[in-house]
Amino acid sequence: MSATRDGKMWRCQFYYKDWQGVSHKKNKRGFKTKAEAEQWERDFLQQQQRNLDINFENFVQIYYEDMEHRLRENTMRTKKFIIDLKIIPYFKKKNMSEIKASDIRAWQNALMKKGYSETYLKTVNNQLSAIFNYAVRYYDLKDNPCRKAGSIGKSHAGEKEFWTKQEFKQFLVTVENKPETKMAFLLLYWTGMRIGELLALTYNDIDLEKRTISVNKSYQRIEGRDIITPPKTPKSKRIITIPPFLTEELKEYISHLYGIMADERMFRFTKSYMEHEIIRGIKASGVKRIRLHDIRHSHASLLVEMGFTPLAIAERLGHEKIETTLNTYSHLYPNKQGELADKLEIENSREEEE
């Protein structure tokens, strides 16, 4: 070890070879103790080995370094939050190649005892499985112990909450005196856009003549920074046709956007503002409590009730796979099965009469 005194603190200096075999010198300062400096050096050198003779915590750092170049910033932040809080504390000093299905089962049981929701359990378990899948694919780990251990939780915990058209109109009254807020909620309900897609809209994305909105980006506010990224998935890039009444509402709203540039955001607020407004409006109107994202489900439920096919709904919502639409809104389709059966009965009666 090469830990040395640095005034009242400690530092470590050493040489290492990168993945191309090139030698580099590393100099890290600011450690309170010699043990801290030596442990940091051990962890760093272990991560440079790029093999499975490494503890879980250090392998996760390699995983992070790779994935942060491939995932959206907010997605990566969420991933790190879950892994750092719920996974690393349990497995951190275990060697990657020695973690067995029995270890995963013990961790799962400990997690389930804490009373988390089924969807959260599924999300956390998926993050651990993703780390081992990465090790299998790129570091020749023989197999993923999570597969043997089995999954926990559920992808969809029951039926989605949503507003009926009447409930939405009742809520909308509470934002009548806030034109920008009202327009935002109108677009969310009648187009099914994601909140990030809505907040990224510019004047260039609107075609009032063709009555279309082009969804091609997403907005997020991260640590005080405005971040514009591509939409969630390739299929999320889409053209949404809007009804005439919504076109008129949008035309009126745009007419008051004095001095706005064509590539500026039409809505100047953030997701947190919208979340505050929906909570305030729910209390004021007395409608049932739903999340901001559930307005998207409200639009989907309206389309189901109107008789549109899962494929048409998937395209409008920008789902990557039609299975997503079917799994998310399957509870709404049984009502349609009765109508379908009735129509088949009528059709059969017609044939018998002929």
Nearest by Cα to 327 from 74, 119, 79: 119
Tokens 């694919």 found at: 137
Burial track 241-270 (b if 16+ CB lie within 10 A, e otherwise)? ebeeebbebbeebeeeeeeeeeeebbbeee
Section 126-152 average pLDDT: 93
Structural contact between residues 340 and 311, judged by C-beta atoms closer than 8 angstroms = no
pLDDT at 17: 74
pLDDT band for position 196 (50/70/90)?
very high
Tokens of 123: 């999300």
CA dihedral (47, 48, 50, 53) positive or negative: negative
pLDDT at 146: 96
pLDDT at 354: 54
Residues facing residue 215 across a β-bridge: 238
- Asked whether the whole model's pTM tops 0.85, one would answer no
pLDDT at 333: 63
pLDDT band for position 175 (50/70/90)?
very high
Q: What domains appear along the chain, each with residue ranges and CATH number?
A: 3-149 (1.10.150.130), 165-335 (1.10.443.10)
pLDDT at 205: 96
pLDDT at 72: 86
pLDDT at 156: 66
d(CA 96, CA 135): 9
Structural contact between residues 311 and 322, judged by C-beta atoms closer than 8 angstroms = yes
pLDDT at 99: 95
Section 227-245 average pLDDT: 92
Q: Per residue in 297-338, pLDDT tens?
A: 999 999 988 888 889 999 999 998 888 887 777 667 655 555
% the chain with pLDDT above 90: 55
pLDDT at 262: 77
Q: Which residue has the higher pLDDT, 42 or 351?
A: 42
Q: Per residue in 102-124, pLDDT tens?
A: 999 999 999 999 988 888 999 99
d(CA 311, CA 299): 15
pLDDT at 36: 87
Residue 86, Cα to own-chain centre: how many angstroms?
A: 18
pLDDT band for position 1 (50/70/90)?
low
Is the model's pLDDT at 351 over the cut of 60?
no
pLDDT at 159: 63
Residues in CB range of 48: below 8 A, 6 or more apart: 16, 17, 18, 19
Q: Per residue in 7-38, pLDDT tens?
A: 889 888 887 776 566 788 888 888 899 888 88
| Residue type, position 305, single letter | E
pLDDT at 22: 76
